[in-house]
Amino acid sequence: MATESSGGMLAAVSDELAAAVESGSRSIVAVYGRRRIPATGIVWKDGIVVTADHVLEREEDITVSASGEDKIAATVGGRDPGSDLAVLKITGAAPAAATLAPGGSLKVGNFVLALGAGAGGGPSRVTASFGVVSALGATWRTARGGVVEGYIRADLPLYPGFSGGPLVDTQGRVVGINSSQLARGQGVAIPANTVSTTVDMLLSQGRVRRGYLGVTSQPVRLPSELQSKHGLKQETGLLVLGVESGSPAEKGGLYMGDVIVTLSGQTIADPQDLQAALGPNVVGQATPAVVLRAGDRKELSLTPGERS
């Protein structure tokens, strides 16, 4: 009886996973934007397909297909190499938009599936891999130079052509977009809420604005006496090693040897903190900064430029 019961439970789980693949695959398409095998994209909203930026080796003659036969012309609506996301605009018949999982619904240990369009897209041609969520990360700097507000690492393989496709939960709802290029040596997924924010920005501006100051820097340990003197809880700050001529940093009065401890009210303990603070909202805006100069506290107003 136990064996039969176990077998029935396994069969039920297997059927649920197959149903999740069927549900999630209804919104995926094959993306033809390179000479090699097609990549995967997903219909994010009416007329909009999201895919991975690195799979677009050209900006013209891009097509997508949900059936493997009928191809739909697509134009680039915006690209962000830093997050490895790209938006394509399409017209004509296309699958319905994907269903997104509610924010915060994913937990470490949950089952997830990565879906790919295979050779031509559509439910009959979908490929899938299965695993568990092994990590949910916070803001991080990607291998492609962007700062992304979170990531999903799943214990599953991303086969060739899977980049740009969805990571789905056991109900077939999209929890993220897969990329084989953002983390060196392993695949990760950008969470769906971050993708939505990026898509809106790409559609309105064609790019994701990221700030820059024009400094080279490295973390430096703050002596305990300095921490006590200035009421700092952080153990490290960011030592300015160089300042570019004519840069926002130079114009704002930042000098080589200064130690940045906050920017826009955010603690700056390492270069990743600085990049995270230089988001699109600070570009062109007077931004308060606190630095330590020869042991003294200095308050500056810096106006970050836009990273080209």
Burial of 221 (C-beta count, 10 Å sphere; 0-12/13-18/19+): exposed
Look at residue 73 in the predicted model and tell me its pLDDT.
93
**Residue 153 CA: distances (Å) to CA of 24, 195, 307:** 19, 15, 28
Residue with tokens 């740009």: 164
Which amino acid, residue 307? Answer: R
Known catalytic residues are 54, 84, 163
Look at residue 4 in the predicted model and tell me its pLDDT.
61
DSSP state of 118: T
What does the pLDDT look like over 145-165, one tens digit per residue?
Answer: 677 888 999 999 999 999 999
Look at residue 124 in the predicted model and tell me its pLDDT.
53
State how far the Cα of 83 lies from the Cα of 79, in Å rounded to an integer: 9
Question: Distance from CA of residue 91 to its chain's centroid?
Answer: 26
Whats the size of the chain, residue-wise? 308
Ramachandran assignment for 233, one of left (phi > 0), alpha (psi -120 to 50 degrees), beta (any other): alpha
Look at residue 186 in the predicted model and tell me its pLDDT.
81
Look at residue 122 in the predicted model and tell me its pLDDT.
46
Q: Give the global pTM.
A: 0.76
Block mean pLDDT (10 aa), the chain, length 308 = 68 92 93 91 95 94 84 93 93 87 93 84 74 90 76 94 96 96 85 93 86 92 94 94 95 96 92 81 93 96 87
State how far the Cα of 290 lies from the Cα of 262, in Å rounded to an integer: 5
State how far the Cα of 132 lies from the Cα of 155, in Å rounded to an integer: 5
Look at residue 1 in the predicted model and tell me its pLDDT.
47
- H-helix or E-strand spanning residue 31: strand 28-32
Ramachandran assignment for 199, one of left (phi > 0), alpha (psi -120 to 50 degrees), beta (any other): alpha
Look at residue 145 in the predicted model and tell me its pLDDT.
66
Look at residue 6 in the predicted model and tell me its pLDDT.
65
Look at residue 235 in the predicted model and tell me its pLDDT.
94
